[in-house]
Amino acid sequence: MTIRIDDWIFDVDPVKTKAHSEFALNSHCTCGYCENYYRGVDLEYPGLRAFLDRFFVEIEGPSEMYPFEPTQYLLAYKVNGRIVQAGAAPIMVDGVPIMGEIIDDDTFKLEVGEIELPWILDEDMDEVVSPANEPEFLERMYQKMIQRNSSNFMFLS
């Protein structure tokens, strides 16, 4: 199925994408950082769910979530299909930039963010126990940030 948004053109396999997204939804992390995103995102960015729906992707089924801070998130949603044409700039939804990135011949990801959210859980955000607090994950987040900053730089130059 062809999806055109701005100057982006995607070819999406609805059945495979749905299957993966539902699997990701059912196995997603339930720590406070992630929970805060799942509860808060519709309130702050109502257009995001509708955008992901067009790709047959559940908003609660990201394949990766990076809470750079407890209230600042970067997410990747895996889609089965191809980026036929990459646009010149990110797609903007409710002020959130979304980039398509090729994973391999049959899959790509929609990188969503960064997203700012208020902290809405009762739990103290400084006391959340999360995989995102593990040194290994912090290292990955750090690498991700460097990567993003360098690609932004290339984008601007």
Integer Cα distance of 35 and 90 in angstroms: 26
25 is a site residue for Zn ion (CB under 5 A): no
Task: Please identify which residue in 3, 9, 29, 120 interacts with Zn ion, judged by CB under 5 A.
Answer: 29
The owner of tokens 């700012």 is: 116
CB of 31 to Zn ion, least distance (A): 3
Q: Which residues pair with 100 in a beta bridge?
A: 110
34 is a site residue for Zn ion (CB under 5 A): yes
Size of the site for Zn ion (CB under 5 A): 4
In contact, 76 and 111? CB cutoff 8 Å: yes
CB of 29 to Zn ion, least distance (A): 3
117 is a site residue for Zn ion (CB under 5 A): no
Integer Cα distance of 11 and 100 in angstroms: 12
Q: How many residues does the chain have?
A: 157
Which residues of this protein are in contact with Zn ion, per CB under 5 A?
29, 31, 34, 130
